Amino acid sequence: MSQASKFFDAAESRISGQDFGDLVESFQFELSSSNGTETFVIDCGKKCIVRGSVKEPSCTFTMSEDDFVKLLMKEVQPAELFMSGKLQLDGDMAVALKFQQVLEGIEVDPKEVFGSSSFKRSML
């Protein structure tokens, strides 16, 4: 199971009970690794996780799975990934900036999902 799948599995078990207020956008993630590309969507309006793409996400983040994990673990800042070209964004930038609010709403602790350090993560 990929690291991304572990995160989205944890998010899926929590998302239905979350209150995102008036946030109804969908956030699509295209995450690449040596095994190919996996796509996941956090749909705030429907309060669900979608495995695979949706027709019209509010925004799409494209990055490596490793950078996604680093982002969740707060080992790297989104602006750093974006400015270095490691994170591409397609869609509404204003919506993309709301993603931190979504993560806080889902209440998944990345350290519980991935372990407490990059070393542990690379050993999984």
Q: How confident is the model at residue 120 (pLDDT cuts 50, 70, 90)?
A: very low
Give the whole-angstrom CA distance, residue 12 versus residue 83.
30
Give the whole-angstrom CA distance, residue 69 versus residue 31.
10
Question: Contact, 19 vs 105, CB < 8 A?
Answer: yes
pLDDT mean over 54-63: 95
76-111 pLDDT, tens digit each: 988 899 999 999 999 998 998 888 778 777 777 777
3-17 pLDDT, tens digit each: 889 999 989 988 988
Task: Say what the pTM is.
Answer: 0.86
pLDDT at 121: 40
Share of the chain above pLDDT 70, in %: 93
Average pLDDT, the chain: 86
Say which amino acid occupies 2. S
